[in-house]
Chain A
Amino acid sequence: MLVSIYRYNPEKDDAPYMQDYEIELPAGKDLMVLDVLNLLKAQDPSISYRRSCREGVCGSDGMNMSGKNGLACITPVSEAVKKGKLVLRPLPGLPVVRDLVVDMGQFYKQYEKIRPYLLNDTPAPAIERLQSPEEREKLDGLYECILCACCSTACPSFWWNPDKFVGPSGLLQAYRFLADSRDTATQERLSDLDDPFSVFRCHGIMNCVNVCPKGLNPTKAIGNIRSMLLQRAT
């Protein structure tokens, strides 16, 4: 099989380029893209990429596989190969550190902006803040985000304004704390989001939903934030 990999080493290369590798895959097995990368790394140790848990939990190996963002460790080669060729590129829109490794600084900055932790101004109880099963249920589909950045880097609004638009991942997390019954800073959080960029730069094209490796729905969360803002203002 032919694998084409985006190569860029800023210390050596003037510009990024695509390097082709030919690889023999074991018959009768559908390897994951990460397995292919590991085999190639044995062939050419200079190929750089991030990986850790290799089972879709840590979110380290987000990359663009034949045009679609996803986690290399849980994407079968058969799914990622287009016309007999596997094309691997770094996540689009973020600065490349080397090969498939991107600088996630901008992505984390947006995450930090939404204050991803519980804010509660009531005195802390002796043991813990309780939630009913119904209240807890509201966090399903929100708390599972692993911050792999596949969604935000598939979003054109994030590409054009990564410093102003929070992005699908950050907004999913923003709604996770807006929906939490233990958080008392709802009004403050909403005020922080009510500008033309932070939430409203989302035009609902749903690229984020299309690529999320955990099957989450940031567009729905963004819709819920809009409804909360509208309810508060009308």
Chain B
Amino acid sequence: MVTQITSFGRSGLYDWMMQRVSAVVLSLYTVFIIGYLLLNPDLTYDQWSALFEATWMRIFSLMVLLSIGMHSWIGLWSVSTDYIKATGARFFFQSLCGLVMFIYIVWGVQVLWGL
């Protein structure tokens, strides 16, 4: 009944589902990192960098990075449509959020792969 072309998947159900899926990924990663730090109290740089050199960890981290992008886009899009009523200001805010998330993802890939 309402058409929105700036939402993430253009369907309410899709956005809702992706937000929940990404939330699960983010919580798993948080639990993993906290657990890893607790289990390795004398963590060295070599150990930490070896962890992030493993392919599975890079995949897991990239998944988290994409999840952050999705999750925050859907969330901030909702916030902007609730509180920013002027179309120009809302579009500017949404564009800014999109740009920041894109930068984070590209930058994150660079960091993860040590490019």
Residues of A near any B CB (own CB < 8 A) = 113, 157, 160-161, 164, 166, 192-201, 226, 229-230, 233
On whether the beta carbons of B82 and A157 are closer than 8 Å, the reply is yes
C-alpha spacing A160/B17, complex, angstroms: 23
**Shortest beta-carbon distance from A153 to chain B in Å:** 16
User: Which residue in A113, A197, A230 is a CB contact (below 8 Å) of B17?
Assistant: A230
Q: Chain B: interface residue count, which band?
A: 10 to 19
- Output the nearest chain B residue to A159 by Cβ-Cβ distance: B82
On whether the beta carbons of B13 and A113 are closer than 8 Å, the reply is no
On whether the beta carbons of A196 and B2 are closer than 8 Å, the reply is yes
On whether the beta carbons of B12 and A196 are closer than 8 Å, the reply is yes
On whether the beta carbons of B4 and A197 are closer than 8 Å, the reply is yes
Of the A-B pairs whose beta carbons lie under 8 Å apart in the complex, a sample of 26, sorted by A's number, is A113-B1, A160-B83, A166-B1, A192-B1, A193-B12, A194-B11, A194-B12, A194-B13, A195-B1, A195-B4, A195-B12, A196-B2, A196-B7, A196-B10, A197-B12, A197-B81, A198-B1, A198-B2, A199-B12, A200-B13, A200-B15, A201-B78, A226-B13, A226-B16, A233-B13, A233-B14
Q: Find chain B residues with CB under 8 A from A164 CB.
A: 2
Chain B residues numbered 1-26 whose CB sits less than 8 Å from any CB in chain A: 1-4, 7, 10-17
Q: Find chain B residues with CB under 8 A from A161 CB.
A: 81-82
**Shortest beta-carbon distance from B8 to chain A in Å:** 8
Q: Find chain B residues with CB under 8 A from A200 CB.
A: 12-13, 15-16
On whether the beta carbons of B11 and A195 are closer than 8 Å, the reply is yes
**Shortest beta-carbon distance from A157 to chain B in Å:** 7
Residues of B near any A CB (own CB < 8 A) = 1-4, 7, 10-17, 77-78, 81-83
Q: Find chain B residues with CB under 8 A from A195 CB.
A: 1-4, 11-12
Q: Find chain B residues with CB under 8 A from A193 CB.
A: 1, 12
On whether the beta carbons of B2 and A197 are closer than 8 Å, the reply is yes
C-alpha spacing A70/B78, complex, angstroms: 29
Besides A192-B1, A196-B78, 19 new A-B residue pairs in contact (Cβ under 8 A), listed by A number: A160-B83, A161-B81, A193-B12, A194-B12, A194-B13, A195-B2, A196-B4, A196-B10, A196-B77, A197-B1, A197-B2, A198-B1, A200-B13, A200-B15, A200-B16, A201-B78, A226-B13, A226-B16, A229-B13
**Shortest beta-carbon distance from A159 to chain B in Å:** 9
Q: Find chain A residues with CB under 8 A from B11 CB.
A: 194-196
C-alpha spacing A200/B14, complex, angstroms: 10
Q: Find chain A residues with CB under 8 A from B10 CB.
A: 196
C-alpha spacing A196/B6, complex, angstroms: 10
Q: Find chain A residues with CB under 8 A from B15 CB.
A: 196, 200
- Interchain residue pairs A-B with the least CB separation, the first 9: A200-B12, A160-B82, A196-B12, A197-B2, A196-B7, A195-B2, A164-B2, A229-B13, A195-B12
